[in-house]
C-alpha cells in the first residue's frame, strides 16, 4: 500500500487521484498509526523548510518514519519541499532536516550564476536523468517537468544526484540514496511525464 504522508503540506489529493488512475492502492496517512502497512511512502511539501520540519515533528509521525525508512528500508519519495527536508539542512532555515540524503539546500540567489535570474524558478524545464536512474525509466531521452522553487539541493557527493536541470547553474533536481528518493519538481503537475515517474516509483 502506498501511503501519502499528510502532515499539513502538499496537494495530497492530486497524488491520490493520479495513483488511483494508474491502478495502484493508495491512501493518506495523518498519524503514526495510519503509517502501518506502508510498502511505499510519498512525502510531499510546499513552502518553507523550517515550517515543513515543524509540522512533520508536530504530526507525531517522525519517529515511525525514521523506523520505516532507515530500519525497514521502505522506499520513500520526497517531492518539492518534501525533497528538500531529506537533506541535512537548508539556507532557508535553522532546523536540521531528516538527514536521509547527505547534502544541503542552497538558495539560487547565493550563486552568481543564478543570482540575477527571476525567482522562483517557475515553469517547465528539461531534466537529464543519470544513467540507470530507476526513477526515470522510460524518460531517459524525454523528461520534462514543472518546477516552482527558489532553493536547490546540493548533494554532498555526486552519486546522490539522480537527475539534473539548469537554471543559471546546473543543479540536482532529483536525488537518491538507497531506498530514499526525492524530486524538486512537481510530478503531479507534469502530465504524462509525472505519471510515468510516479508509476516507476510504485513499481520499484
- Contact 105/154 with Cβ under 8 angstroms? yes
Query: In angstroms, how far is the first alpha carbon of the chain from the final one?
Result: 13
Rounded to whole angstroms, how far apart are CA atoms 47 and 193?
23
Reported as a single tens digit per residue, the pLDDT across 155-198 is 999 999 999 999 999 999 999 999 999 999 999 999 999 999 99
CA distances from 118 to 36, 98, 189 (A): 43, 29, 21
Domain boundaries, the chain: 2-203
Fold of 2-203: Rossmann fold (3.40.50)
- Output the pLDDT for position 181: 98
pLDDT at 142: 82
What sections of the chain are H helices per DSSP?
12-22, 49-58, 62-66, 81-84, 191-203
Catalytic residue list: 80, 186, 188
Which residues of the chain register pLDDT less than 50? none
For β-strands 161-167 and 151-155, DSSP reports them as unpaired
Q: What is the pLDDT of residue 115?
A: 85
pLDDT at 180: 98
Q: Write out the E strands in the chain.
A: 2-5, 26-29, 40-43, 76-79, 89-90, 103-107, 121-126, 128-129, 144-149, 151-155, 161-167, 169-177, 180-183
Q: Give the pLDDT score at 111.
A: 87
pLDDT at 11: 87
Q: What distance in Å separates the CA atoms of residue 43 and residue 39, rounded to the nearest whole number? A: 13
Amino acid at each position: 500500500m502506498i501511503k501519502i504522508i499528510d502532515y499539513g503540506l502538499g496537494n495530497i489529493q492530486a497524488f491520490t487521484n493520479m495513483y488511483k488512475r494508474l491502478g495502484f492502492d493508495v491512501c493518506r496517512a495523518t498519524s503514526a498509526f495510519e503509517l502501518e502497512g506502508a510498502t511505499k511512502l510519498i512525502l510531499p511539501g510546499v513552502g518553507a523548510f523550517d515550517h515543513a520540519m515543524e509540522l512533520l515533528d508536530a504530526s507525531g509521525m517522525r519517529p515511525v518514519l525514521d523506523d520505516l525508512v532507515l530500519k525497514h528500508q521502505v522506499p520513500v519519495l520526497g517531492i518539492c519541499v518534501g525533497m528538500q527536508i531529506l537533506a541535512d539542512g537548508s539556507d532557508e532555515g535553522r532546523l536540521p532536516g531528516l538527514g536521509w540524503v547527505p547534502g544541503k539546500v542552497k538558495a539560487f540567489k547565493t550563486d552568481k550564476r543564478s543570482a540575477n535570474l527571476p525567482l522562483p524558478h517557475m515553469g517547465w524545464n528539461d531534466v537529464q536523468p543519470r544513467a540507470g536512474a530507476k526513477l526515470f525509466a522510460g524518460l531517459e531521452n524525454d523528461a520534462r517537468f514543472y518546477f516552482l522553487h527558489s532553493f536547490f539541493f546540493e548533494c554532498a557527493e555526486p552519486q546522490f544526484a539522480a537527475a539534473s536541470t539548469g537554471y543559471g547553474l546546473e543543479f540536482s533536481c532529483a536525488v537518491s540514496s538507497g531506498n530514499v528518493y526525492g524530486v524538486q519538481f512537481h510530478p503531479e503537475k507534469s502530465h504524462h511525464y509525472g505519471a510515468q515517474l510516479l508509476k516507476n516509483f510504485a513499481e520499484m
